[in-house]
Structure 1
Amino acid sequence: MGETAEQVGDRFPLYADPVDGRWATTGRGSWTGGFWAGLLWLRARHTGSDADRSAAAAVTARLAPWIDADTATRGLVLWYGTALAAGDDTAGTAADLRERTVKATLAAWEPRLGLVPWGAALGGPRLRARADGVPGLVPLLASAGPEGQEAAAGHLRRHLDLCLPGDHAQRPFPAWRWDEASGWAAEPDPAPGWTRGEAWLLLAVADSFLHMDASSSRMDRLAESAERLLQRCAFLTGPLVPPAGARQPDGPLDTSAAAITAVALLKLALVPEVGWASACAARAEAVLRRLVEAHLTRPGGSRPPGMLLDGCYDAHSGTAVRHELVWGDFFLALGLSASLGRADLRRV
C-alpha cells in the first residue's frame, strides 16, 4: 500500500500492470474509489499511525462528489470507503458522508420498479438493474431506520428476482434494462456466468443477514437465496479462483471475484442456526490461502510485493485481464484482517 500510495499521489488506483506494477489511475475514483479509501483505513488500523489515519480521512473526503451521482455504485463507493473509519473518524467526515449518501440514495428510490436504478452516471440508460448495484447499497439503506430497511429489502429482492431465474440449472443474469413498453429484459453484457457478478450478489445477501432486521419471514427468504446462490454458482465446490466468465472456463481467471467471495463466505459463516456456516468458513479460508500462496507477489522480485495478480477487469473488451485490481486488494486485505480478528465483518 505504501508503494501504491507513493505512485498514485492524489489520484485513485484502478488496476496495475502485472509486469511492472504501474497503476492506471482515475482522478475521481470511478466506482472503485471507496476501495482505495477502505484499504487506507485497513492500513491505519494495522499500523495505528496518526499519519495513516489522516491519509485515509483525506481520501475518504474526496469521495464526496459521488454522493449525488446518479449511480447505484454509490454503495460500493460510500459504504466501503467509510465503514472501516468507525473509531478513527475523529473529524466525523466518514459518518457525515454516509449520512448524506443515505438521504440521496433514498431520494433516488423508484417505487414502481422497487429499486434504486443503476443510474446514468457511468454511461448508458438510467433504468437498469445490475448485480454490482446491490452490495454496499443494502447496508447503507438499512442504516436509515424503518424506511431504509424496507428500501434495502426491496432493492435486494428485486435484484434477486431478476438475476436468479426459476431454472435452477441457469447461472444468474447479472444485468437488466427496463423498457416502458415491455418491462424488464436481460442485457447481453455482462452475460450469465459473470463470476464477479455472482460474487457481488452473494456479498449482498450476506450483508443483508448482518444489517437488516431479522423478521422470520425475511430471514427465511434470505436463507433460501443464499442456498440457491451457493449451489447454483458452486461457491463451495467450484474452483477456488474462478474464471472471469463461467462460459469460458479456459479464459482469464478473476482473483477479485475469489476475494469478494471469500469475504461473503466469512460473513455467511457468522449467520446463526444455518447448516452451511461451517462449510462457508472452511471454504473462505481455503480461498484466502490460495490467493496468498499462488497469486500474491513476494518480496525480492522485480515487482512490488503484495500485488494480487490475475484479476480481470473486463474479459469482454480484453481490458486488464491479468492485473492487480484495487477492489481485489481490498477484499483480500479485508478477508485476511477479519481472519486475524482485526476487522469486524458485522460492521463492514
Structure 2
Amino acid sequence: MIRPDCAERALSDVLDRVAATAVEVGSRFPLFADPDSGRWTTTRRGAWTGGFWAGLLWLRARHTGDPADRAAASACTARLARWAEADTATRGLILWYGTALAQSDSGAVALRGRAAQACLDAVHPRLGLVPWGSAFGGPRLLARVDAVPGMVPLLAQAGPQGAAAAASHLDRHVELCLGTGELVPSWRFEADAGWQACDDPPSGWSRGRAWLLLAVADALLDPDAAQGKPAGLKAAAQVLAGGTEAPGRSVPPADEAQPEGPLDTSAAAITAVALLKLAHLPGPRAAEFSERGAAILDRLVSGHLTGRGGTRPAGMLLDGCYDAVRGIAPRHELVWGDFFLALGLAVLTGLVDVRNV
C-alpha cells in the first residue's frame, strides 16, 4: 500500500511535470515523450488523447488553486470543441476526460452537453452503439473497447435517451468483446455477414481489458447507465478484474503474446482507477479492489516514475507502450498514462472523488 506522503509527493511531481510540459508544447497537445530526454512528440489537434492533456491541466489547477492554472485548463478544453461533431467514438475519451474535472467551468460544461447530444445523434439505430467512425480512417462500422470508456458517462449526460444509449452502447461492446470467452478488442460490422472479429488490436492488447473494465465500472456507479442490468455488468467486472495479481505482474506486457516484450504502465494506471471505482460498490470484494488499486499505483510510483534529482525530469511515468504491433513509442511516457496515474493519486490523497470522473 502506498504511503500518503509518497502519494502526495508523486502527485506533486507528476503535476509539476505538467507545468513544464505546458511550457514546452504551447498550443499543441503532448502525445508521448522520449524516455531519456523527456521531449514530447505533439499533435496540433490533440488526436484521441487531447482530453487527457486537458484533464491533467484541470488536475493541476485543482491541486494548486492558482487562477492562472485554471485559465490554462479552460483554454485547452475550449480547443477540444472541434471534436464535438467529429465522426469518432473516441469522443468519449476526448470530451469526457477533457471536461469531467471542470464542473464549474461554464465553457467546459457547455461543451460536454454539446458533445453528449452529438454522440446521442450518432448512435446507429440498427447496431445500438456509436460506431468507431471515420475520423481516423479505416472502416467506419467498428466496435472497439476503446470506444466505450468516457462514452458511457458522456452519453448519460444527454437525459433519459442518452442514458438508454449509454447502456446499449456498453451492452453491445460487452457482448461482442467478451462473448467468445476471451477478450476480443475489435469487431467490424458487414451488412451480409454481421459482426466479424478483427485482429487489430490483437486479443492480447494490454489496454483492451483495462478500457473495458473502466467503462463497466463507470456504468455500475451510474444506475441510469446500468439500465437495470447491474448483475450482468458485475459479472463482466469480475471477469475483467480477475484475481489478485502478484506485485510483479501489476504492470502487464503491452501484448500478452509477447510476455518478454515491452510493458504498458498506462494499462496498469487505467486498471488502478477502474478498481478504485469498483471499490465504491457494495460487496465482498470492495476492500480487495481498493487494496489492489492502491497497490498498482504503488508499483507504478516505486518502479516506473522518475524521481527528483536525476538526469531526467521528475514525474515521468515511463514504460508505457503506444503501439506494440507497430513498434511506436514502446517504452515511453504517454499522456494518458500520466493522466490516470495522476487521477489515481488524486483519489488516494482526497483531491478528487473517483465517482465523479
Q: Does 1:54 align with 2:63?
A: no
Query: Does the CA contact (< 8 Å) of 1:3 and 1:304 recur in 2?
Result: no
Partners of 1:107 and 1:127 in 2: CA distance:
16
Relative contact order (alpha carbons < 8 A, sep ≥ 6): 1 or 2 greater?
2
Cα distance, 1:63 vs structure 2 = 0.2
Q: Specify the alignment match of 2:276 in structure 1.
A: 266
Q: Specify the alignment match of 1:156 in structure 2.
A: 170
Query: Does the CA contact (< 8 Å) of 1:230 and 1:236 recur in 2?
Result: no
Task: Write the deviation string for residues 93-150 of structure 1: whole angstroms up to 9, x where unpaired.
Answer: 1001001001100110012111100001011111000000000000011122211111
Task: Assess, with a 3 A threshold, how the Cα gap between structure 1 residues 62 and 215 changes in structure 2: closer, same or farther.
Answer: closer
Bigger CA drift: 206-215 or 71-80?
Answer: 206-215
Cα distance, 1:166 vs structure 2 = 4.0
Contiguous gaps of at least 5 residues in structure 1: none
In structure 1, what residue type is equivalent to 2:129?
Answer: L
Task: Assess, with a 3 A threshold, how the Cα gap between structure 1 residues 330 and 215 changes in structure 2: closer, same or farther.
Answer: closer
Displacement over 3 Å in runs of 4+ = 214-217, 234-238
Task: Write the deviation string for residues 128-176 of structure 1: whole angstroms up to 9, x where unpaired.
Answer: 0000000000001112221111100000000000000343xx3x00001
In structure 2, what residue type is equivalent to 1:229?
Answer: L
Q: Specify the alignment match of 2:304 in structure 1.
A: 295
Could you tell me the TM-score, scaled by structure 1's length? 0.95
Q: Does 1:83 align with 2:83?
A: no
Task: Write the deviation string for residues 285-340 of structure 1: whole angstroms up to 9, x where unpaired.
Answer: 11000000110011111111100000000000000000000000000000000111
SS in 1 for 2:224: coil
Q: Specify the alignment match of 1:14 in structure 2.
A: 31
Partners of 1:128 and 1:288 in 2: CA distance:
32
In structure 2, what residue type is equivalent to 1:207?
Answer: D
Cα distance, 1:212 vs structure 2 = 3.5
Q: Specify the alignment match of 2:13 in structure 1.
A: none
Q: Determine which of 319, 338, 347 is the counterpart of 1:338.
A: 347
SS in 2 for 1:33: helix
Task: Write the deviation string for residues 256-301 of structure 1: whole angstroms up to 9, x where unpaired.
Answer: 00000000000000112x2221111010111000000110011111
Partners of 1:112 and 1:228 in 2: CA distance:
28
Alignment of 1:1-348 (within 5 A): 1-87=18-104, 89=105, 92-167=106-181, 170=182, 172-213=183-224, 217-231=228-242, 236=245, 239-272=249-282, 274-348=283-357
The RMSD of aligned alpha carbons is 1.3
Partners of 2:219 and 2:313 in 1: CA distance:
37
Contiguous gaps of at least 5 residues in structure 2: 1-17
Partners of 1:134 and 1:36 in 2: CA distance:
19
Task: Assess, with a 3 A threshold, how the Cα gap between structure 1 residues 215 and 119 changes in structure 2: closer, same or farther.
Answer: closer
Task: Write the deviation string for residues 28-47 of structure 1: whole angstroms up to 9, x where unpaired.
Answer: 00000000000000000000
What is the number of residues matched between the two proteins?
339
Bigger CA drift: 323-332 or 142-151?
Answer: 142-151
SS in 2 for 1:77: helix
In structure 2, what residue type is equivalent to 1:327?
Answer: W
Query: Does the CA contact (< 8 Å) of 2:99 and 2:109 recur in 1?
Result: yes
Q: Specify the alignment match of 2:12 in structure 1.
A: none
Query: Does the CA contact (< 8 Å) of 2:163 and 2:225 recur in 1?
Result: no
Task: Assess, with a 3 A threshold, how the Cα gap between structure 1 residues 69 and 246 changes in structure 2: closer, same or farther.
Answer: same
Query: Does the CA contact (< 8 Å) of 1:36 and 1:326 recur in 2?
Result: yes
In structure 2, what residue type is equivalent to 1:7?
Answer: E
SS in 2 for 1:250: coil
Partners of 1:276 and 1:191 in 2: CA distance:
30
In structure 1, what residue type is equivalent to 2:114?
Answer: R
In structure 2, what residue type is equivalent to 1:114?
Answer: G
Cα distance, 1:220 vs structure 2 = 1.2
Task: Assess, with a 3 A threshold, how the Cα gap between structure 1 residues 325 and 235 changes in structure 2: closer, same or farther.
Answer: farther
Task: Assess, with a 3 A threshold, how the Cα gap between structure 1 residues 214 and 59 changes in structure 2: closer, same or farther.
Answer: closer
Cα distance, 1:236 vs structure 2 = 4.5
Partners of 2:71 and 2:120 in 1: CA distance:
30
